Structure 1
Amino acid sequence: MRGEARSREGHTWPVGWQRLTLAEVGQWLSGGTPSTSNEAYWGGDVPWISGASMKSFHIMDSDRRLTQLGAKNGSRVVAKGTTLFVVRGMSLKSEFRIGVAERDLAFGQDCKAVIPREGIDPYFLAYAIRVRTPEILRMVEETSHGTGRLDTARLQELEIGIPPMAEQRRIVAAHVAFERRITSLEGVLSKLRVAEEALAASALDQELIGRWERVRLESVAAVAAGVTLGSEPVGDGAAEFPYLRVANVLDGRIDTADVKTVRILRSQYERFALRKGDLLLTEGGDLDKLGRGAVWDGRIETCLYQNHVFRVRCGVRMTPDFLALYTSSAEGRAYFQSVGKQTTNLASINSTQVKQMPVPVPPVTEQARLMEPIRAIRQRMASMQRQIAKLRTVQQGVVEDLLTGEARVPAA
């Protein structure tokens, strides 16, 4: 191993740390896929990891398994403690998947494996590589098939610092402590989701719905499509505004992390503007996702919406939260699926079908009473999600500093 030194990026590792390229950290291995036409190779007890199935840092299982015969004919088996990562696939367009094998398993040609050399903890190695994700993603090239590909030779040139084993394990322990806290919070969040689903089901109990008046949606709300893209006006009478597209309208929430802008005539602003309390529903997508949506909370003061999104503005007889609860229910989704127009790859609904949707209309006071406990639990869930996001941000910063030697974990 090399002594401590300044890396090509200009970083100086702490005294006592060693500097290695990824080519030097262990034995690199390639995987493979046994013949899928040979039934004797598949359906056994050896997990076969592909780029698509590697979704967890702790790699334990896969939806596809090999027999011992299959593992010996066309694939490769590695032992617990081996680091695996994806080097080819669609996922590389946005993320770098890496993890550690928690048992003996096989892997395909879209992945690479590294068996750490003596003196390197496998979890430390995986964390040290993962923290370089921004640089690694910049290495990704696009193949002729449109998938991402990592050049192994370039990847092997990356350098990492290797502290003594005792410090490696302290760094891993610090990371694990964060993960335990996050896992605990995620467990609470999962229980809250179950409670929310139970409350929602109770609020829309069939016996209750049977007592309420049922009308077409258009009689209690105004349904309208948004601005059509493609021919944006210019000149003094035009202005640019942010707008929400299908990608921003998720099931139960609005994502504004990536909001585009569009130019329209100022005179058209009111026609396409959103107000706090508008329910947004998507026009197309997979059949089971038709009509997904959420209530707009007004977080962007002047915001429009695209024509592939429907704006549903409730009148005095319907509250948007209750309507959103119904449109996202099993009964609401069943309606959209029954009227959706199915094409080869997508399904869609039109504004007439949304307007004609039969909806239950309990008294407004009852709507408020039914929504009160649901709102309360959603507020708790939102608070928990903020805690988890904040903790992950802190974790990222702390662990990155530990892995680069900017911060040190003191010995006990």
Structure 2
Amino acid sequence: MRDGSLLARTPSRVALGHYLRDIETGKSPAAENTPAGEGEWGVLKVSAVQEGRFQSAENKVVRDAVNIRPQYEVLPGDLLMTRANTESLVGLACVAEAPPRHLMLSDKTLRLVVNEDLADPAFIALALLHPATRSQVRGLATGTSAGMKNISQRQIRGLEIPEVSLSEQRRIVAVHAAFERRIGALERSLDKLSPVAEALAAVALQQSQTDWGPVPLADIAAVAAGVTLGSEPVGDGTVELPYLRVANVLDGRIDTTETKTVRILRSQYERFALRKGDLLLTEGGDLDKLGRGAVWDGRIDACLHQNHVFRVRCGEQMTPDFLALYTSSPEGRAYFQSVGKQTTNLASINSTQVKQMPVPVPPVAEQVRLLGPIHAVRLRAAALEHQIRKLRTVQQGVVEDLLNGRPGASAQRAELLVS
């Protein structure tokens, strides 16, 4: 540490308005729901302002020149805040570091004009993302019948944030920026791995399709539907267990952040139970997402699957990972889209269509060989994702400690990033 200032007591709080010169708002002219192209003007969607990040692609093109207002253009370094959004997103803030030209504020996005003699805009953005500030915003925002929440300029000016000297603000911003640089480098490395994995998968599948003719999926795997929700049994002989639904089965991974439970007869357990290595495929959704899925890793003991999620259990001729590679390939996607039943809002496939899916079946040893390079890339990607998540968690904790005047050992170590 350079000095003992980080060991100060919890800073007092001051109204955000103390640091502001003005709050400006834009307009929401008639616009098309497509992003502005080069040389075109666009108006921001509320989704352009995300948690600490400006997403310039989230805009709608404005065609009519009479609706263009250059005074509302987003400029480099602008501190932006949403005044209207859902409860969890209203009042988010970010700095537009290097926005493209010709993007206008909407009537739901505000430009906070900071008095830079007193405050660093990047510090204000961090302070507005602090849990204590976010809690204030949620408490002040008023609701509408459409589920949107609004916060007024008067309420925004009254938000209480830490009163920190300008030099300390800049130190906090520098620590945060050091994390961002390190995380950004990891994210760029991760982005480079995705096309590598796709290219390796394409080569592996092309070779397998050329050398080994397809057979119906039902010849090499057992396909089963899961528990139908609705009328659950009660009393003796039943058991309540977690189950996976469509929302849990993503493209290439299973998300168990939120799982629900269902009660079934004990005698039905084997019928609906998942085993490690089962491939899960979704029954319905958007046409281009039919049959999305991933291999179950057995992270939850005694877990079931819903009837809208197919369980595919491979036999001795097929490895789950190779089958998952094929079902997620362009060829696999094309099959599901060709047989899917399209309704007004959704598309769906049935178990018969899944069973009839033509699948190439190389010898198991060849499947393992073809998967080897792909697994190596995926393991590297998983390691990078873990590093990124860990750094994000540390970053959040360190910044909160610094804002609260409680540096702790983690914040002291973080200072080494900018020393």
Q: How does 1:229-308 map to 2 (within 5 A)?
A: 229-308=229-308
Q: Which residue of the partner structure matches residue 86 of structure 1?
A: 82
Q: Which residue of the partner structure matches residue 3 of structure 2?
A: none
Is residue 112 of structure 2 the alignment partner of residue 114 of structure 1? yes
In the alignment, is the contact (CA less than 8 A) between 2:142 and 2:149 conserved in 1? yes
In the alignment, is the contact (CA less than 8 A) between 1:186 and 1:388 conserved in 2? yes
User: How far is the alpha carbon of 1:19 from its aligned partner?
Assistant: 3.3
In the alignment, is the contact (CA less than 8 A) between 1:43 and 1:64 conserved in 2? no
Closer/same/farther in 2, CA of residues 210 and 42 from structure 1, 3 Å limit? closer
Secondary structure of residue in 1 paired with 2:311 = strand
Q: Which residue, 23, 26, 35 being the options, matches 1:31?
A: 26
Amino acid paired to 1:88: A
User: How far is the alpha carbon of 1:253 from its aligned partner?
Assistant: 0.3
Q: Which residue of the partner structure matches residue 15 of structure 2?
A: 21
Matches of 2:352 and 2:259 in 1, distance apart? Answer: 28
User: How far is the alpha carbon of 1:141 from its aligned partner?
Assistant: 4.8
Q: Which residue of the partner structure matches residue 4 of structure 2?
A: none
Matches of 1:188 and 1:95 in 2, distance apart? Answer: 32
Closer/same/farther in 2, CA of residues 285 and 80 from structure 1, 3 Å limit? same
Matches of 2:258 and 2:89 in 1, distance apart? Answer: 14
User: How far is the alpha carbon of 1:232 from its aligned partner?
Assistant: 1.3
Is residue 71 of structure 2 the alignment partner of residue 70 of structure 1? no
User: How far is the alpha carbon of 1:373 from its aligned partner?
Assistant: 1.6
Matches of 1:264 and 1:47 in 2, distance apart? Answer: 53
In the alignment, is the contact (CA less than 8 A) between 1:93 and 1:147 conserved in 2? no
Secondary structure of residue in 1 paired with 2:48 = coil
User: How far is the alpha carbon of 1:374 from its aligned partner?
Assistant: 1.4
Q: Which residue of the partner structure matches residue 201 of structure 2?
A: 200
Q: Deviations over 1:287-323 (max 9, x none)?
A: 1110000000000011001111000000111111000
Q: Deviations over 1:67-88 (max 9, x none)?
A: 8853439x83454332112232
Q: Which residue of the partner structure matches residue 6 of structure 1?
A: none
Matches of 2:296 and 2:140 in 1, distance apart? Answer: 38
Closer/same/farther in 2, CA of residues 88 and 95 from structure 1, 3 Å limit? closer
User: How far is the alpha carbon of 1:59 from its aligned partner?
Assistant: 3.5
Amino acid paired to 2:390: K
Deviates more, 1:150-159 or 1:26-35: 150-159
Q: Which residue, 72, 94, 100 being the options, matches 1:99?
A: 94
Matches of 1:292 and 1:406 in 2, distance apart? Answer: 46
User: How far is the alpha carbon of 1:60 from its aligned partner?
Assistant: 7.3
Q: Which residue of the partner structure matches residue 128 of structure 1?
A: 127
Number of paired residues? 393
Q: Deviations over 1:326-383 (max 9, x none)?
A: 0000000000011111111111111111111111111111111111221222122111
User: How far is the alpha carbon of 1:47 from its aligned partner?
Assistant: 4.8
Secondary structure of residue in 1 paired with 2:199 = helix
Q: How does 1:96-245 map to 2 (within 5 A)?
A: 97-102=92-97, 103=99, 105-117=103-115, 118-132=117-131, 134-135=134-135, 136-137=137-138, 139-150=140-151, 152-205=153-206, 207-245=207-245
Gaps in structure 2 of 5+ consecutive residues: 1-7
- Higher relative contact order, structure no. (Cα contacts within 8 Å, ≥ 6 residues apart): 2
In the alignment, is the contact (CA less than 8 A) between 2:128 and 2:134 conserved in 1? no
| TM-score of the two chains, using structure 2 as the length reference | 0.86
Q: Which residue of the partner structure matches residue 347 of structure 1?
A: 347
Closer/same/farther in 2, CA of residues 93 and 175 from structure 1, 3 Å limit? closer
Matches of 2:199 and 2:90 in 1, distance apart? Answer: 34
User: How far is the alpha carbon of 1:23 from its aligned partner?
Assistant: 3.4
Deviates more, 1:159-168 or 1:146-155: 146-155
RMSD (Å), alpha carbons: 2.7
